[in-house]
Amino acid sequence: MADFELQRVALSTGVELDVATAGDPAAPAIVLLHGFPESHRTWRHQIPVLADRFFVIAPDQRGFARSSKPEGVASYSPDKPVGDLLALATHFGKDRFTLVGHDWGGAIAWMAALQHPDRVERLIIVNAPHPFVFQKSLFDDMAQRAASQYMRAFRDPGMEAGIAAMGIGTFFDKSFARHVDPALIAGERAAYLDEWGQPGAMTAMLNWYRASAVIVPAMDESPERPAFLDAPFPPLRMPVLVIWGTGDQALLPVQLDGLDALIPDLKVVRIDAGHFVPWEKPDAVTGAMLDWLG
């Protein structure tokens, strides 16, 4: 397990983030955004290798581990961590950067690239659905809708009480640990429980789901279809690499359908792994990144 010294960074957005950095601060920047329910440690295998060529910036995003946990669901709407990302890059003097995101970090990376192409030079997405493709699949693909029902459970205001009643250790064993290779996760359990057990962490992490505008219909529900699904969607103009663990049980391969129409400069690399491919198949992920980055 690679451990990294964290520095506390106070941002203009009003939060403080713990941030792992590596490499020459004068080198081109690459920012690594983790997702749920992790931290900068998602990238523990990639950080040392990328640091040979880049200044690596890997924060614990708001609400996670020991970073700030502002109160209220509204504090976790996607525009807030996008603001954190831009402020973090500015803090380190980086006007433009390569952006990498996994899971919720990927959702923030997609949004940042769509809204701030002047800041994002290149984009790498790891098992995180494009916002248009994801919302469309939740209406049109019943397998993906079924796979995403957990999001409705995470939005339930009673979720924390249920976790508290069973204990976070049991929650870890019965939820997260059941979806990954036991041999890979066993040695990481203590680190996860430490991060999840920080005051307010569980609510803050779940608030990312509650603050999202993504509509997740129930299996027997037929809500009104969002108008943007039947209108042109703006393409991304920067080069994009999508790395996909094809065994992901939450985000199905349908998330790759139609990406080429939304991203003119796209490369997709499929890896035989699950959702947490950065540490399930680290060498394959790092190799795909380095090959594409040239």
- Mind telling me the catalytic residues? 103, 209, 275
Backbone angles phi, psi at 31, to 5 degrees: -105, 130
DSSP character for 264?
Answer: S
**Number of other residues whose CB lies within 10 A of the CB of residue 18:** 20
291 CB neighbour count, 10 Å cutoff: 11
Cα–Cα distance, 59 to 33 (Å, whole number): 7
Angle 93-91-71 from CA coordinates, rounded to 5°: 155
Is 88 buried (19+), middle (13-18) or exposed (0-12) by CB count in 10 A?
Answer: buried
CB of 236 closer than 8 Å to CB of 123: yes
Q: What sign results for the dihedral spanned by CA atoms 146, 62, 212, 202?
A: positive
Give 43's DSSP letter.
G
Element (H, E) at 29: strand 29-33
- Tell me which residue of 9, 157, 8, 15 sits closest to 81, measured CA to CA: 15
User: In Å, what is the CA distance from 81 to each residue of 32, 108, 156, 202, 267?
Assistant: 13, 7, 22, 17, 26
How far is the C-alpha of 113 from the C-alpha of 10, rounded, in Å? 23
CA quadruple 210, 216, 219, 221: dihedral, nearest 10: 100
